[in-house]
Structure 1
């Protein structure tokens, strides 16, 4: 009986990390499914690499359930060897400016989405004794300014992955979390501060731009390089092996920073890096004698 071709699913595959990782899986001979909300950007995956593309919105339960059916129909089987939860949503706003809708959108894609994808597709991964992976982030480890919501989603997914790893041990399913540093992608949040923001003081525009473009301005690695490492990580995953794997510019350093450097020093370094000392002084002066309502 011929050996079964192994199957991979990559979510959020319309650009950046997801697109590059789908290509890398395909280059290594896997049957690859690539899902995203937009089909058009993924056409190159189908045309040039034979990847099976389909519409997938991880924030919609019916869409996720349909993804399972689609994979079963296309493979004629009930196996999924590699499940890469990569779909992501940025959110770069001060904590007191973010709206309910922005919070909901970020958590829907970054946390609830992977949770429902894992739950619905778990039977296929269990059948294959496969690997489930997540795109984590150094933002889940370091308190970058104006990143409270995005950081919270990534910290949540880090802990979800850690506990999922324990839960799935009896099924021989491996779980890995890719703590991601700088990678050249288009995830940058381009939304401006609201006009009502208390942070609208002299200097905030430049500081806010510096923060939003953090990855772009710090020599990020190409997504193709990142993808090769990630597919290696999936192929080399083992029960009891590494959970957190560090990929991207400064990922290992930032992923461990808070363990070794006092928090107040990290906070001061971040304020200096993004030019926020002057901004925060202006905020103090502006509101020191004003009663907010």
Structure 2
């Protein structure tokens, strides 16, 4: 067993960029040893150079592949001192910004495999280490799991699913002294926007539709997102706290949007989304096409 017994041990998935990278660095500054997991290891080299391989331990892992998760579990069997894991930070994510009717089966499966099934598999396979340590599990949730933004229905569905799973897990792990935190995340400057163009046969493939689509694609950049570093400081503060919430709200507008969506009727929220993301003109064009088609019939 190679880890240092006196230090706390963390696993962070999706550690090669954005929130995962910032969380890994913040944990290292709080004297954790971190298994920094990602599909690409090269981007984490600056962290290794800054903190050394005794603190940052890069591990190549695709959480969407169950065999890789199981192999990682077997690796930890030999690595973890006392068979204890203090923190599992489930951060790896797959964005998916396309109209609901344009999502291919492959895109849908990929998004759910990473955002939902991969995290569930990690929790199940590593649970004994967390229970042994009375550790903490964290999920990078999203305000999208509460508010379904235009062209983000599949991504929203994955985040709503992981919110529900986190809450159930929070309840079931109480007797074991394991905390579960779901970070309902608002705007964070991570540069992971899905910038694929609309499919050529999309019902929104016309100038006004593309304008609305691009507005959604760049919504995080346009609304003063929180830096990943500030977000990480807040989340590590939640981890180090003795409090045991299910949901915490971090990132720009997370608290406001969660509260707003809980008190207003859905039709008002929907009207606000139409206005905010320039959908009015697109809807007028689509209604015009519908009228024209009826005339031709």
Pairwise TM-score range, normalised by the shorter structure: over 0.9
- Which of 272, 276, 287 is the matching residue for 2:275? 272
- Which of 20, 25, 30 is the matching residue for 1:23? 25
Q: Is the 2:5–2:81 contact (alpha carbons within 8 Å) kept by the matching residues of 1? A: no
Which stretch shifts more, 33-42 or 252-261? 252-261
| Separation in 1, partners of 2:81, 2:87 | 17
| Separation in 2, partners of 1:80, 1:59 | 21
Deviation at 1:234, TM superposition (A): 1.1
Q: Is the 2:95–2:155 contact (alpha carbons within 8 Å) kept by the matching residues of 1? A: yes
Deviation at 1:200, TM superposition (A): 1.4
| Separation in 2, partners of 1:56, 1:256 | 36
| Separation in 2, partners of 1:103, 1:290 | 31
Q: Is the 1:94–1:145 contact (alpha carbons within 8 Å) kept by the matching residues of 2? A: yes
CA 1:281–1:188 in structure 2 vs 1: closer, same or farther (change >3 Å)?
same
Counterpart residue number, 1:99:
104
Counterpart residue number, 2:16:
14
| Separation in 2, partners of 1:42, 1:64 | 20
Deviation at 1:284, TM superposition (A): 1.3
Per-residue CA deviations over 1:43-66 (Å, capped at 9, x if unaligned) read 122221231001010001111112
Which stretch shifts more, 43-52 or 106-115? 43-52
| Separation in 1, partners of 2:140, 2:51 | 23
Per-residue CA deviations over 1:42-98 (Å, capped at 9, x if unaligned) read 112222123100101000111111222333433444111010000000011111111
CA 1:70–1:46 in structure 2 vs 1: closer, same or farther (change >3 Å)?
farther
Higher helix share: 2
CA 1:101–1:288 in structure 2 vs 1: closer, same or farther (change >3 Å)?
farther
Counterpart residue number, 1:117:
122
TM-score (norm 2): 0.94
TM-score (norm 1): 0.95
Q: Is the 1:142–1:257 contact (alpha carbons within 8 Å) kept by the matching residues of 2? A: no
Q: Which runs of 5+ in 1 are unaligned?
A: none
Per-residue CA deviations over 1:229-283 (Å, capped at 9, x if unaligned) read 1111111144xx2110000001101122221111111111111111110001101
**Does residue 251 of structure 2 align to residue 248 of structure 1?**
yes
Q: Which runs of 5+ in 2 are unaligned?
A: none
**Does residue 54 of structure 2 align to residue 63 of structure 1?**
no
Which stretch shifts more, 72-81 or 264-273? 72-81
Aligned residues: 288
| Separation in 2, partners of 1:97, 1:174 | 38
SS at match of 2:222: coil
Please give the residue correspondences for 1:46-195 in structure 2 after superposition, counting only pairs within 5 Å.
46-50=48-52, 51-195=56-200
CA 1:3–1:114 in structure 2 vs 1: closer, same or farther (change >3 Å)?
closer
Q: Give every structure 1 segment of 4 or more consecutive aligned residues whose post-TM-superposition deviation is greater than 4 Å.
A: none
- Which of 17, 39, 42 is the matching residue for 2:41? 39
Deviation at 1:24, TM superposition (A): 0.4
**Does residue 256 of structure 2 align to residue 233 of structure 1?**
no
Q: Is the 2:18–2:191 contact (alpha carbons within 8 Å) kept by the matching residues of 1? A: yes
Per-residue CA deviations over 1:142-192 (Å, capped at 9, x if unaligned) read 121111000000000000000001111121111000000000002200111
Q: CA RMSD in A?
A: 1.4
